[in-house]
A and B are shown apart, each in its own frame.
Chain A
């Protein structure tokens, strides 16, 4: 596909994705407006949905702009020496409310002492956040998500494993594409923007790292990313 066609296709997909929350917002507000006799409980339910859909719309716009910055090369990296273990521990409390709603426990395992790595902490935090919110979304209730950190001479290896139903084999690579949805999902969104994994992949690649997904033998999906420990070792 020529560059223009790729851009057109992306633009079409984005507008398509924007139309969906806009549809709910328009329909629900029109109904509240046109039906003065609507019971209060119904009105509250509809307006709460309007608020959620407006939030989804702004999240989507933020994500699209973020991705555009990465893809156009406008996003620079601010490298710092970071303890990955500490970065993860600091991030987990933000995810607790989401995890607790599903009674999901998040365990962290270190297979060896993890050396500090040179990376952009705020961007890597976004990757963890995206992968962990995804894992929680697809994890069954009362299950465990396992984070593993390991290091070799030059690389950090980070993985996140859930106990969900896994990813269809044919989708393992496609899930990093923008707006891709695996066919075994029965309910679409509304939580995600469909861009989280595409953004995560871009961030890891900007660090000269790699990311992929696989299904673990016990069932469940596992996302693994490798990052060079120092900028020069990449």
Chain B
């Protein structure tokens, strides 16, 4: 069975670097996007199984990307997991209402994050 594909979206290079390593190490095929515009292109081009999505980005924010995915006829089954430093309850509620499977607060533990991702992709 081919490796499941994960698109990691974050405008912070170091967070991107750590997530890329973590996902590859656990056997996933990883694609990275450094901003919202790149994320919108790659999600259509690559149809990943799961998107790890930052919210605050200077061009297109993560909420808009999630909305795009969930309203797209062929992409709506893509699993979205938000990773965000926005820790207000209202933001978390908004993320889940837009169809995300999880909303994880930054800073996150790589150990529990990978467990959650593994479960979602089982």
Within 8 A of A (CB), among B88-106: 88, 106
Report whether A27 and B58 are in contact in the complex, using a CB–CB cutoff of 8 Å. no
Is A188's CB within 8 Å of the partner chain B? yes
| Contact of B85 with A23 in the complex, beta carbons under 8 Å | yes
Q: Which of A35, A52, A185 makes the CB contact (< 8 A) with B58?
A: A185
Distance in Å from the Cβ of B53 to the closest Cβ of chain A? 14
Q: Residue on B with the closest CB to A17?
A: B85
Kindly list chain B residues whose C-beta atoms are within 8 Å of the C-beta of A27. Answer: 15, 18-19, 22, 107-108, 110
**Contact status B106-A42, CB under 8 Å:** no
Interface bits B1-31 vs A (CB < 8 Å: 1, else 0): 0000000000111110111011001000000
A28 & B85 in contact (Cβ 8 Å cutoff): no
Contact between chains at B21 and A42 (CB < 8 Å)? yes
**A interface footprint on B39-81 (CB within 8 Å = 1, 0 otherwise):** 0000000000000000011110000000000000000000000
A34 to chain B: closest CB distance in Å? 7
Chain A contact residue count (CB 8 A cutoff)? 33
Contact (Cβ within 8 A) B35 A186 = yes
Tell me the bound Cα distance from A49 to B18 in angstroms: 10
> Interface majority SS on B: helix, strand, loop or mixed?
loop
**Total number of B residues with any Cβ neighbor in A under 8 Å:** 27
Q: Is B109 an interface residue (CB 8 A)?
A: yes
Q: Are A183 and B59 in contact (CB under 8 A)?
A: yes
Residues of B within 8 A of A181 (CB): 58
Q: Is the CB of B109 within 8 A of A26?
A: yes
Residues of B within 8 A of A190 (CB): 12-14
Would you give the 0/1 interface string for A162-204, flagging 1 where the beta carbon is closer than 8 Å to chain B?
0000000000000000000111111111100000000000000
Taking the nearest CB of chain B, how far is it from the CB of A172, in angstroms? Answer: 17
A-B contact count (CB 8 A): 84
State A140–B77 Cα separation when bound (angstroms). 42
A31 to B108, CA, bound (A): 12
- Summarize A's interface: helix, strand, loop or mixed: helix
Task: Tell me, rounded to whole Å, the shortest Cβ–Cβ distance linking B4 to chain A.
Answer: 20
**Nearest chain B CB to A39's CB is how many angstroms away?**
11
Please, how many angstroms separate the alpha-carbon atoms of A188 and B108 in the complex?
Answer: 20
> From residue 10 to 45 of chain A, which have CB atoms closer than 8 A to chain B?
12, 15-17, 19-20, 22-28, 30-31, 34-35, 42, 45
Point out the residues of chain A lying under 8 angstroms from B88, CB to CB: 12
CB of B111 closer than 8 Å to a CB of A: yes
Is B109 a contact of A49 with CB atoms below 8 Å? no
Cα A23 to Cα B56 in complex, Å, equals: 14
In the complex, the answer to whether A186 meets B34 with C-beta atoms within 8 Å is yes
Q: Are A24 and B15 in contact (CB under 8 A)?
A: yes
Smallest beta-carbon distance A5→chain B, Å: 14
Contact A28 B58 (CB under 8 A): no
Top-5 shortest CB links A-B: A24-B14, A27-B18, A19-B85, A23-B107, A23-B106
What is A's interface to B at a CB cutoff of 8 Å?
Answer: 12, 15-17, 19-20, 22-28, 30-31, 34-35, 42, 45-46, 49, 52-53, 181-190
